[in-house]
Structure 1
Amino acid sequence: MSCGLSPESALSVSKKVQLKNPTKPDSVLNFFKNHGFSQTQIRKIVERMPKLLLCKAEKTLLPKIQFFYSRGIPSSDLSVVLSSNPSVLGSNIDNCIIPNFNSFKDFTRCDDSEVFLAYKDCSNILTCNFQSIVAPNVAVLREHGVPDPNIMTELVRNPIKFTLNHDKFRRTVEEVDKLGFNPFKYNFLGALQVLLQTSKSTWERKLNVFKEWGWSDEDFVIAFEKFPNCMMYSEHKISKAMNFFVNTMDWKSSFVAHRPIVLSYSLGKRVIPRYSVLQVLLSKGFIKKPVNDSFLICSEKEFLARFVTPYGDLHLLKLYKEKMSLEN
């Protein structure tokens, strides 16, 4: 019984639920189709939650869809979010979805659409008890002096961190505090995000990569305080970037540590194309050797205006685009 699914999907679903007749499954599939879900989106939902095929669509699914409609969530957003994270469709509307939706909205004072988008990244926002999971972790941040506006912004943008084990969350907040981060600055929460997501072994491996490229302990502290996300990149990306900055661009390792934001830039789409343009200008004597990172930090529009457009006869725009296509 394929229920309109591909043979592969039907086989996968059949291993998880027993479909004795097509009546309920067909009504569920038609329900999603009638509410604007594409065949691909329906397949994703069924593969993730095959038990939905056994429910009564009008009784189980319709109230939830109607609730989100009542909160101004358009069907286009509804289909995208629910197909990527359908767990809320298996939760109770009255005892779980509505109270958690309202709690999150009241707590953060954000729009209904922002609540729904937060759920997209973290199903616990609507499927688990908000007051017992999220509120205690928020309280820890308040205890350490993190301003409410910063907490609420982060809760909407990155809700998953607030649903982690409370003891681990508290220990990590204390660790960020001991590292000397100012709770009034937003990078306190940035450092918290990194430490929560990075295991001790991964942390040590990445730290060793930086040390292999010449960073001292002091260099690392400076870089991490300025840009905590420098520890979110893979060891390969870190090493490849440091290699280009140090060996090709002839920057000192400590120079990168004081400007760690450059590690976030794509070598292929930003660093190499821009550096290639500057090399031509240097060879022609139009500029002196750059000693800072301004040509990397400036916007695309500003870079073109400063280093490409004034030298039209050098065909720099063609070179710039060619380098970007080669490195992608």
Structure 2
Amino acid sequence: MHYYLPIFGSFQSVLRALNRGSYLLSCDLEHAVKPNIRYLLECRLGVCDIAKLCMTAPRILLTNPEHVHAMVACAEGLGVPRGSGMFRHMLHGVAFLSQEQIALKLEHLKKTFRWSDAEVRVAVPSAPELLRKSKESLQLRSEFFFSEVGLEPSYIARRPVIINYSLEGRLRPRYYALKYLKKNGLIDHDRDYYNVVVLTEKVFVEKYICPHKEAAPHLAEDYAAACRGGQVPTRNPFRPALVT
């Protein structure tokens, strides 16, 4: 505990890490944890970054140092250098995956999102979490983006973070809210889907829902219901506005 406290910054953070990996207290400090932390510091990860990494993947601290070296080499091989802002995220993305597993995941991403080799090399370094997503979740998002939203593969490859958002809790409800507002002339037709998706929920509601309470009195209700239940009304997505 004395060793971990300065790394995690607080007792509460240590407890959160222990909830994800209670074996932190029983592992070999001298031959695993300390060498791994020294090496990660050499890789230009700050103490805060290491703590965040271990909150999501505590096994990284406990594994054989040779495995951590291999993870770093893999992250760099995928185009994310040491010291970059995405380095910690890529380490988590490739953690404990073999080269064969990573190659299969890259091929699946290419097939699912119709990406070229160049496009997958752009997308994955920008959103390493894609390597951790299930085939089913990727397929569902792909079908939604292509069939419903009408996005192009290159558009998604340049903005891969949208794949990480909840399909039912954010992507689909916001798409239909945006479509509704455009259809009823309540916003300009050139509003970009990605720029709407990345807004925080509070900002999205303040910008796209609240200003239209009079013109579209059911919009807030229908949008909230879609977010809660993951279902868009089967009638025309959201009810007709009171304005033309």
Q: TM-score, normalised by structure 2?
A: 0.83
* Partner residue in 2 for 1:95: none
Shift of 1:142: 3.0
Report the aligned-residue RMSD.
2.2
Amino acid at match of 1:235: K
* Partner residue in 1 for 2:16: 117
Larger helix percent: 1
CA contact (8 A) 2:53 2:92 kept: no
Amino acid at match of 1:185: S
**Distance in 1 separating the partners of 2:142 and 2:8:** 42
The count of aligned residue pairs is 227
Relative distance call for 1:157 and 1:271 in structure 2 (3 A) is: closer
**Distance in 1 separating the partners of 2:55 and 2:105:** 29
**Distance in 2 separating the partners of 1:109 and 1:120:** 14
Amino acid at match of 1:321: A
* Partner residue in 2 for 1:317: 220
Q: Find the partner of 2:181 among 278, 281, 288.
A: 281
Residue-by-residue CA offset, 1:249-304 (whole Å, 9 max, x unaligned): 11111111111111111111111111111121122122304334111011112111
Kindly report which structure 2 residues correspond to 1:140-159, keeping only aligned pairs within 5 A, or say none.
140-155=39-54, 158-159=57-58
* Partner residue in 1 for 2:206: 305
CA contact (8 A) 2:28 2:62 kept: no
Residue-by-residue CA offset, 1:58-94 (whole Å, 9 max, x unaligned): xxxxxxxxxxxxxxxxxxxxxxxxxxxxxxxxxxxxx
CA contact (8 A) 2:27 2:62 kept: no
Relative distance call for 1:302 and 1:115 in structure 2 (3 A) is: closer
What is the percentage of aligned positions where both structures have the same residue?
Answer: 23
Q: TM-score, normalised by structure 1?
A: 0.63
Structure 1: give runs of 5+ residues left out of the alignment: 1-100
**Distance in 1 separating the partners of 2:23 and 2:53:** 16
Q: Find the partner of 2:132 among 232, 236, 243.
A: 232
Shift of 1:215: 0.8
CA contact (8 A) 1:147 1:183 kept: no
Amino acid at match of 1:318: E
Relative distance call for 1:203 and 1:158 in structure 2 (3 A) is: closer
CA contact (8 A) 2:90 2:128 kept: yes
Amino acid at match of 1:267: L
Choose 1 or 2 for highest CA Rg. 1
* Partner residue in 1 for 2:237: none
Task: Please say if 1:250 is aligned against 2:150.
Answer: yes
Residue-by-residue CA offset, 1:220-240 (whole Å, 9 max, x unaligned): 121111111121111111111
Q: Find the partner of 1:214 among 114, 122, 134.
A: 114
